[in-house]
């Protein structure tokens, strides 16, 4: 049975990245991005929907992200979707995140850039 797990998102960091190291010394950074969607509702009024997506990045790229990215910066994230099951207070829960393979910095710290058609591989 074939399977495919690939996510591509463009959004803005909602907070500064949180860099940590595993006991073996591997860098791990976590951050979230806000992905906005604008649409017209059934009455023709413009609406905006925001989805907050947790991102995890490993290795040298994690250290670069912690060094160069901060809240508000635009990024394009490519990776895979991961859903973890866990139990808290006797209740079963799920946690969804994107484990990034590539994080491309967009714009500058002071001026986030809107992606052009050339920047988005669709």
Handedness of CA 106, 104, 30, 60 (dihedral sign): negative
**pLDDT at residue 110, rounded to an integer:** 61
Of 27-31, 53-57, 95-99, 117-121, minimum mean pLDDT range: 117-121
Closest among 100, 66, 65 to 82, alpha carbons compared: 100
pLDDT digits (tens, 9 = 90+) for 2-17: 999 999 999 999 999 9
DSSP readout, 53-122? Answer: EEEEEETHHHHHHHHH--TT-EEEEEEEEEEEEEEETTEEEEEEEEEEEEEEEES-SSSPPPPPTTTS--
Half-sphere exposure of 1 (CA within 13 A, CB side): 1
pLDDT digits (tens, 9 = 90+) for 55-76: 999 999 999 999 999 999 999 9
Res. 112 pLDDT band, cuts 50 70 90: very low
**Residue 120 pLDDT more than 60?**
no
**pLDDT at residue 92, rounded to an integer:** 94
């Amino acid at each position: 049975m074939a399977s495919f797990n690939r996510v591509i998102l463009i959004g803005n960091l909602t907070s500064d990245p949180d860099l940590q190291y595993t006991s073996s010394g591997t860098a791990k950074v976590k951050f979230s991005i806000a992905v906005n969607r604008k649409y017209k509702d059934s009455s023709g009024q413009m609406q905006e929907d925001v989805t907050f997506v947790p991102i995890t990045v490993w290795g040298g790229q994690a250290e670069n992200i912690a060094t160069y990215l901060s809240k508000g910066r635009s990024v394009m994230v490519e990776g895979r979707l991961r859903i973890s099951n866990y139990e808290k207070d006797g209740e079963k829960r799920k946690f969804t995140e994107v484990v990034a393979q590539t994080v491309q910095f967009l714009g500058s710290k002071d001026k986030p850039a809107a992606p052009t058609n050339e920047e988005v591989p669709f």
